[in-house]
Amino acid sequence: MRLECGDIPYYLEVPEGLRLKLSGLKAMLQLPDGLKQYSNIIAGCVSEYTGATVVVQGDSVFGACDLHYQELLQFNDIDAILHVGHTPYPDYLGDRVNVNPKGRVKVMFIQARFKGLPNEQTLGALLNVIRARGLTRVALATTVQYEPAYSKVLEFLRRNGVETVTFRGPAEYYEEGQVIGCDYSFVPRRVDGFVIVSSGEFHALGLYLATLKPVIQLDVTRDSVKDLTGAGERLYASRLFRVSQAMDASRWGVIVGTKTGQNRPWVVSALENVMKRRGVSYIEIYAGLLDRLTLANFDSDWYQVFVVTSCPRLPIDDFNDYQKPVLTPGEAFMALMRTLSPYRFPW
Ligand code: SF4
| Ligand 1 within 6 A of CB of 182 | yes
Ligand 1 and 65: CB distance under 6 A: yes
| CA-to-CA dists, residue 55 to 10, 43, 85, 165, 333, angstroms | 20, 7, 17, 41, 43
DSSP string, 35-73: GGGGHHHHHHHHHHHH--EEEE--S---STT---HHHHT
**pLDDT for the residue numbered 130:** 98
pLDDT at 100: 73
* Ligand 1 centroid to residue 210 C-alpha, Å: 15
How many whole angstroms separate alpha carbon 8 and alpha carbon 125? 28
For residue 268, give the H/E element and its range.
helix 265-278
Considering only CA atoms, which residue is closest to atom 6 of ligand 1?
182
CA-nearest residue, atom 5 of ligand 1 = 63
Q: Which of 67, 255, 311 to mutate to test the pocket of ligand 1 (most atoms within 8 A of CB)?
A: 311
Q: Is the CB of 311 under 6 A from ligand 1?
A: yes
Which residue in 260, 220, 204, 202 sits closest to 83, CA to CA?
260
pLDDT of residue 102: 64
Q: Whose CA is nearest to atom 7 of ligand 1?
A: 311
List the chain residues with pLDDT less than 70: 101-102
Beta-bridged to residue 305, according to DSSP, are 252
Q: Which amino acid is at 69?
A: Y
Q: Is 62 in the pocket of ligand 1 (CB under 6 A)?
A: yes
262 Cα nearest atom in ligand 1: 7
Q: Residue 180 CA: which ligand 1 atom is closest?
A: 5
pLDDT of residue 76: 85
